[in-house]
Amino acid sequence: MVNNNVILVSACLLGEKCRYDGQGNYSSAVERVLEGQMVVSVCPEVAGGLGVPRAPAEIVDDRVLREDGTDVTAEYEAGVKACMEVVEKYSVIKAILKARSPACGCGLIYNGQFNGTIITGDGLLTRALKARGIACETEETVGREET
């Protein structure tokens, strides 16, 4: 029997130490919203073959680059592909993702200049999820009423 209420969640928000800096980003707000829900966690960067810790990356035009110019777009795309296979397998209906991440950012991401400036945009996984019609939010917006 397929559960039609599966929520995809960034693994770092559940406390998994998979962020670029080797830390987790546990969110009690996310945990509260997920109580009693079917959940599947992912980390697109790790799924794409990037290690922990790893140099931070940001979206620059249509590429994902590290500050030294190393292009890690292929790894991010591989991670998105792996995550979308999970989405298909579990019939995911919603995603709660890490804010501002080049993979998971939803609505806001860093500007690609590694100076902390935030711009409007989505990470690569969020783009793929939205293209599939899957609602996405972040740990910063989860549980808020939609406007």
Q: What is the CA radius of gyration of the chain?
A: 14
55 close to 64: Cβ distance less than 8 angstroms: no
Residue 2: is it exposed, middle or buried by C-beta count within 10 angstroms (0-12/13-18/19+)? Answer: exposed
pLDDT tens-digit series, residues 27-80 = 999 999 999 999 999 999 999 999 999 999 999 999 999 999 999 999 999 999
pLDDT tens-digit series, residues 85-136 = 999 999 999 999 999 999 999 999 999 999 999 999 999 999 999 999 999 9
Q: Would you place residue 1 in the very low, low, confident or very high pLDDT band (cuts 50, 70, 90)?
A: very low
User: What is residue 143's predicted lDDT score, i.e. its pLDDT?
Assistant: 76
Instruction: Report which of residues 146 and 87 the model is more confident about.
Output: 87
Q: Does residue 2 surpass a pLDDT of 70?
A: no
